[in-house]
Amino acid sequence: MGIFNNKRKTKVVTAATKQGKPTAKKTTMAVFLAMVVSIGSPMALKHEGMKLKPYYDSVGVLTWCIGETEVGYKKEFTEQECKALFTMRYGFYAKAVYSMYNDTAKEIVTPEFSAAMTDMAYNVGISAVRKSSMIREINAGNGVKACDAIKRYKYAGGKDCSKPNNRTCRGVWSRRLEMHELCLSGLAD
C-alpha cells in the first residue's frame, strides 16, 4: 500500500538510480519527485514514527501523526488520516526542495541526494533548508560539501545530539548520519 509497504520498491528504485544516476535535469519533475518520495518517505516514517494523539516532542514542539507540526491539528487521528496527511505533506516538501535547485544543481542532484534534503526540510523546516549551506553548496556545484553540511544540524533544543551521553536527542544525530550517507550515495558521477 503506497509508501508504507514499499521496502522492495525502494530497493528497486535505489538500484535503478545507481545504475543510471538520473538527475533532476535528466528526468521530468514528476518522475524525479516520485523517486524522491519513494526513497525518502520510508526513512522519514522510520525516524518520525506515528502518534495518533498530539504530543510534545523532545524539544517541546507540539507534534502529531508522522512528525507533523503545521497542518491539520486535531485532538485525535486515525491511522489512515495520518498516512494521508504524511503522503500529502512529504510530497509538498519534496517539491519545495526541488524548487531550491538552480541549473547547476539540477545537473548533479539525484533522487537520493534530494531525498536527504527533503528529509532535512521535513525535520527542520523548509525555510531553514532554503537558507542553508546545503543548498548554497549544491547550487555552487559542490555536492560533497552540501552533503557534509547535513552534519551541522546536530543540535535540538540547544543540546548537542552528537554527544554519546546525550540520551534526549541521540536519534537526531543518527538520522543526520543516515541522511549524510544517503546524500553522498546519490551524488552523480
pLDDT surpasses 60 at 34: yes
Q: Is 56 exposed, middle or buried (0-12, 13-18, 19+ CB in 10 A)?
A: exposed
170 part of a folded domain: yes
pLDDT for position 57? 86
pLDDT for position 189? 59
CA 119 to chain centre: 1
59 with 161: CB under 8 angstroms?
Answer: no
pTM for this structure? Answer: 0.83
pLDDT digits over 132-185, tens only? Answer: 999 999 999 999 999 999 999 999 988 999 998 888 888 999 999 999 999 999
92 part of a folded domain: no
Instruction: Give 15 or 189, the one with higher predicted confidence.
Output: 189
Q: Provide the mean pLDDT of the chain.
A: 87
> Residue 160 maps to which CATH number?
1.10.530
69 part of a folded domain: no
162 with 173: CB under 8 angstroms?
Answer: yes
pLDDT for position 188? 61
pLDDT surpasses 70 at 18: no
Mean pLDDT of 19-43: 86
Mean pLDDT of 38-61: 91
88 part of a folded domain: no
pLDDT digits over 112-129, tens only? Answer: 999 999 999 999 999 999
C-alpha 51/C-alpha 71 separation (Å) is 15
Domain count, the chain: 1
Mean pLDDT of 101-117: 94
85 part of a folded domain: no
φ, ψ of residue 156 in degrees (nearest 5): -145, 125
33 part of a folded domain: yes
124 part of a folded domain: yes
Instruction: Give 24 or 128, the one with higher predicted confidence.
Output: 128
116 part of a folded domain: yes
pLDDT for position 28? 87
pLDDT for position 5? 45
pLDDT for position 111? 95
Per the structure, the complete domain to which residue 154 belongs is given by 2-46+101-185
pLDDT digits over 54-98, tens only? Answer: 999 888 899 999 999 988 788 999 999 999 999 999 999 999 999
